[in-house]
Amino acid sequence: MSVTLKRVYDPPAGADGRRILVDRLWPRGLTKEDARVDLWLKEIAPSNELRRWFHERPTMRQQFRDKYVRELREEKPAAALRQLYAEVASAKTVTLLFASKNTEYNNATVLKELLDGLKKPPRSTGPERPAAMANVARARR
């Protein structure tokens, strides 16, 4: 599985594989034919409030990521995230498409981190890993 990122305004390429738009709004001035989007996951995008918040505070990347990951735990975004995981598992190559002018950091970069397993969101139930590891260490003494 390979996950890449691309602005939706960049020309489609054969190497893109399955093209998935991860924005809430359709990109301005772009036709569906020109975008060649295979799947549009609107519900996985940050809320309008969070999108506006980050637009006003582009240097607050970690806070944006934390807020966005919290939003991804809500019912509809969580379902969209599960769908994205399934799409990635079934495709050889997936390209996450976004419209943001900020190509270095946006919701698609956070999603790629999650898909790559770099910084998975904490589990909502059960003990956190450090506590569980401490219990194992104590039990061995």
| pLDDT tens figures, 70-106 | 999 999 999 999 999 999 999 999 999 999 999 999 9
**Domain range for 63:** 2-140
- Contact partners, residue 91, CB within 8 Å, separation at least 6: 1, 17, 18
Q: Name the DSSP letter for residue 18.
A: E
Number of folded domains that form the chain: 1
Share of the chain above pLDDT 70, in %: 83
